[in-house]
Every structure is written in C-alpha cells, then in structure tokens.
C-alpha cells in the first residue's frame, strides 16, 4: 500500500470519529434541559364557574336557623327602583356573603324568617315560588303588599286620622308606636301600645281596636319590624312593616320608613307608605 493511500485512510477515520463525536454531543444537550426551562413555574387552571360555585369552608350554610320564624310564612314579591334589576340571593344576611343566585323584580317568594342583618336592616330568608331556591334578601327589595296593578281591588274602608284625645278616650296611648301617612305628617292613623291587644285605628270614622296575631324581625320598644293585627270581628287584617331610624331623644326612635296594608273580608286592600316614632 502506498504512502499516499495510508494517509487518505487515516484522514477518513479521523473525520468519521469527529462526526460521531459531534452527533453524540447534540444528543446530550437535548437530554439536559437548561436552567431557564427547568425553572418555569407551573400554572394552575381553574375550570370556568368553579370559583363562583365552590363553597367557602369558613362561611355558614345558607339554611342555618338565623332570625325569627315567620309563621305562617308570608307571600311577597321582589321589588327595586330599576325594573330590570337583578336582586342577589345571599347565603347570609350581609352583602359580604356569597351570592347563591339572583331574582328579578316581580318574582314571587315566600318569607320564612327575618333578622337584623348588615346595616341594621331587616333581612328575609326567602324561598322562590318557581325555582325553590332559598337564601337571604334585604328588606328594601321585598314587597309584602302581595298586590300589583289589577291584582286586588281597593278596599272601601276609609282610614281616618285621630287625635290623642280620641286615643286616650279609648284607653290607648302611652308607650308604643305611632304612625302617620308620609302625605299627612302628624295626622295619626295607627297606634300600637305594649299589650298585645292595644292597637287602634280610626276606620270609617270609628275608633277600632285590633289585637296582634303575628310578629317577626328586630324588636324595639315592644314593637317588631313586621306585625300583623286583626280586629275583634276578624274581618279586617292590618300588616305593618317598620324600619327604625335614628334616636329622637330619651327612649324614643323615629320610624324612617314603613308600610301599612289593610285588607278587608272581600279581599280589598289599602296600602299606605308611613313614618312615625316609637318609645315611651
């Protein structure tokens, strides 16, 4: 074999070994990730809706026995200033609790319990008639009149104003709650004393006695936020809701917002927005 032939064979072997070494080096780099890719954090993915539906382990269940039972349960409708408002159904009587869903203005609900919640306002534990959903809704979104346009006829009974002399003549007066229409401030139309049978109204010109048959919600000076009264003939029912405002003075608070609904035996109703005071 010539000298030139030997040199060519040797060069071929050297080049082949260099090629194999280069290939082996590339394989090793691929099998060892760089620090940049190894240190990338993993991302946690939450399925859509999981955050809204996952229960908070620190929050009580929405059906715990808060508040005072309304017995029998009272029918009502959702209300709001905006007709297209979505009214939250809360797990607890506070806007800080989770929303269990929402209702719309006009939805029918059943009031099961009442309590003083966030903002010292009355909150109701309700059950939706259609869906059966349950939860808490603030009282200013609840309409307890149970009537809308064309649903119930107006009562023919006249609610008249009375004087303190007329009230005292019937043995009424003293500690209690007095209400008047927001349209006629100071013209008394309702008084309820501390005993259970000491509510008085002047109907069709006659002072008429009522007894309290149901009450629920926060208590103040012998009154409660929601009260139902029936006259002695049991043919007139009066429902009163009252929201307590600031203190007026010694042992006295004002009723900054309320509603009085009278229903007669024929199903006719009268509804009045009222205010007043309570105390001794």
CA distances from 90 to 24, 74, 87, 144 (A): 66, 19, 9, 19
Q: Is the pLDDT of residue 256 over 70?
A: yes
Confidence at residue 280, expressed as pLDDT on a 0 to 100 scale: 83
Contacting residues for 20 by C-beta, under 8 A, at least 6 apart: none
Q: Please give the DSSP secondary-structure letter assigned to residue 105.
A: T
Confidence at residue 45, expressed as pLDDT on a 0 to 100 scale: 28
For the chain, which domains are there? 62-143 (2.30.30.40), 159-279 (no CATH)
CB 259 within 8 A of CB 148: no
Q: How far apart (Å, rounded) are the C-alpha atoms in residues 153 and 96?
A: 40
Share of the chain above pLDDT 90, in %: 50
Tell me: the pLDDT tens digits for 126-154? 999 988 999 999 999 999 875 443 345 78
End-to-end CA distance of the chain: 132
């Amino acid at each position: 074999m010539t000298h030139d032939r030997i040199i060519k064979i040797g060069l071929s072997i050297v080049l082949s070994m260099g090629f194999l070494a280069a290939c082996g080096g590339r394989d090793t780099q691929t099998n060892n990730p760089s620090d940049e890719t190894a240190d990338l954090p993993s991302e946690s993915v939450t399925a859509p809706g999981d955050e809204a539906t996952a229960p908070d382990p620190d929050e009580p269940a929405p059906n715990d026995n808060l508040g005072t039972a309304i017995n029998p349960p009272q029918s009502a409708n959702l209300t709001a200033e905006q007709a297209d408002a979505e009214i939250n159904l809360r797990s607890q009587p506070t806007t800080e609790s989770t929303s269990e869903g929402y209702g719309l203005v006009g939805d029918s609900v059943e009031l099961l319990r009442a309590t003083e919640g966030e903002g010292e306002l009355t909150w109701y534990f309700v059950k939706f008639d259609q869906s059966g959903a349950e939860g808490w809704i603030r009282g200013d979104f609840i309409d307890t009149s149970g009537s809308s346009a064309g649903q119930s006829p107006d009562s023919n009974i006249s609610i008249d104003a009375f004087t303190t002399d007329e009230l005292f003549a019937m043995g009424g007066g003293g500690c209690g709650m007095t209400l008047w229409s927001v349209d006629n401030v100071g013209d008394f139309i309702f008084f309820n004393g501390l005993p259970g049978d000491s509510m008085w109204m002047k109907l069709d010109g006659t002072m008429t006695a009522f007894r309290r048959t149901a009450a629920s919600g926060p208590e103040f000076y012998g009154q409660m936020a929601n009260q139902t009264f029936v006259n002695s003939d049991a043919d007139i029912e009066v429902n009163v809701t009252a929201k307590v405002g600031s203190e007026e003075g010694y042992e006295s608070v004002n009723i900054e917002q309320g509603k009085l609904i009278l229903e007669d035996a024929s199903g006719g109703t009268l509804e009045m927005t009222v205010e007043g005071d309570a105390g001794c």
